[in-house]
């Protein structure tokens, strides 16, 4: 498939000066698409802390009796939390 792309003159001149400009553009686009796919996959995965929270919520036994204390501590933290500029 042929596709027409528009580049700024400076970039177009540099690409045209390459020994194989088509292969260069193909490789750059492939690499960019691969990177984009990886970033999208990472964005859709829960972060490490979200996984920990999820595990605690789903499996309080995993905490071996500390779940009630943890919930109490989290509640106290939320209720008493202040930024330095709030004082």
Residue 39 placed within a domain: no
Q: Which segments in the chain show pLDDT lower than 70?
A: 60-65, 86-87
* pLDDT (0 to 100) of residue 42: 76
CA distances for 83 relative to 57, 78, 80, 86, angstroms = 27, 12, 10, 5
Q: Model confidence over 30-43: pLDDT tens digits?
A: 999 999 888 887 77
Residue 59 placed within a domain: yes
* pLDDT (0 to 100) of residue 51: 78
Domain total of the chain = 1
Q: Model confidence over 66-75: pLDDT tens digits?
A: 777 778 888 8
* pLDDT (0 to 100) of residue 50: 79
Residue 23 placed within a domain: no
DSSP per-residue codes, the chain: --------HHHHHHHHTSSSHHHHHHHHHHHHHHHHHHHHHHHHSPPHHHHHHHHHHH-GGGGTT-HHHHHHHHHHHHHH---GGG-
Instruction: Provide the residue range defining the domain that includes 71.
Output: 48-82
């Amino acid at each position: 498939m042929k596709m027409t792309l528009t580049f700024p003159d400076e970039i177009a001149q540099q690409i045209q000066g390459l020994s194989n400009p088509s292969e260069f553009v193909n490789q750059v686009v492939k690499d960019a698409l691969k990177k984009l796919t990886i970033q999208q996959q990472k964005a859709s995965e829960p972060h490490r802390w979200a996984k920990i929270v999820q595990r605690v919520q789903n499996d309080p036994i995993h905490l071996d009796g500390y779940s009630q204390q943890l919930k109490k501590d989290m509640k106290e933290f939320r209720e008493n939390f202040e930024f330095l500029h709030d004082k």
